[in-house]
Amino acid sequence: MGITTKILYAFLSLGVVMVWGLTLNGIVRKIFARVQGRIGPPVYQPFIDIKKSNAKRTGITHGIMFYLGPVFRIAGGVGTYMFIPVIFGSEIFSNFSISGDLLLVMYFIFFGQLGMALGAGEGGHPYSAVGVSRGLAQMTAFEVPFALSVISLAIQHGTLNITEIVAAQQGGILSWTLFTNPLAVTAAMISMLGMNMYNPFSIVIAPQEIPMGPPTEYQGSFLGLLATNRGIFAGAKLVLFMNLYFGGATSLPILMWKTFAIYMFSVFIGAAFPRFKTEDSIKFFLKIPTAIGLLALLIAYL
């Protein structure tokens, strides 16, 4: 396959997952509204928000890094997705997975969040520093059990190549990491709660507590860029977790129902639990899931 065709296939795949990720965001908003006794916006509201934001312009200036924040954010989302095999055995949905490994993908996951922190830190809102400090502290905390989970997988399969990890799970449902290494899956799924920042780990923007965040500080096409990345990054994380822990996908329908089920785990937890305090969130990640991750690592080593 030529490099031009590979690039075209990768961007086609990116478009499909972006639409699916934005659709999931719309479904989640509807679910939370129903839980709270509201009708809620339509499922296609994220697409309307992006169109509306991109049609506007802003004349506010806070410095170069403020505007590079959304660029770094979407670069992290696209970079994460481009090195993940989306559908096992498909040339169209293989992306550039042969050129990267799990460590590269993990770097891209946190690259966008660090860039966004730098951008928010240069904003004009007085509480930006509060959100940045909370976000970086929680990110550091949930990164520990997730890294332990990934290391245990690398030991278990003897590789950091995501395609090879998916291939090792193709012997049936009992070959999934969910059954061959359940402790690693438990640590990773708890970490994903922090990545998605739903309750009880929604301490960064902290709804009804701190009036800050992208909807407040960014306007116009910059906000549209962040909204677009919300779909890309959500889809990329879900595909990554599906590949590592739930056997991957061999077709588009399987991809959709598996990622939907994984995402609903965070949604149901978020709808059922109140928010932690910042210090409680950090302590939680460094205790229970970290202990589970260490145990998974020990068992994989032995």
Number of structural domains found in the chain: 1
Amino acid in position 35 = V
In 3-state terms, what secondary structure has residue 6?
helix
pLDDT digits (tens, 9 = 90+) for 177-186: 999 999 999 9
- pLDDT score at 279: 87
The amino acid occupying position 43 is V
Spatial contact of 93 and 235, defined as CB atoms under 8 Å apart: no
Q: What is the pTM of this model?
A: 0.90
Six token digits for residue 37: 């006794």
Smallest CA-to-CA distance from 292 within 213, 189, 184, 214 is with: 184
- The closest of 231, 138, 153 to 191, measured between CA atoms, is 138
DSSP symbol at 274: P
Structural domain containing residue 208: 3-301
pLDDT at 216: 66
Say what the pLDDT of residue 42 is: 92
pLDDT value at residue 116: 76
Q: Which residues of the chain fall below pLDDT 50?
A: none
Q: With contact defined as beta carbons under 8 Å apart, do 233 and 76 qualify?
A: yes
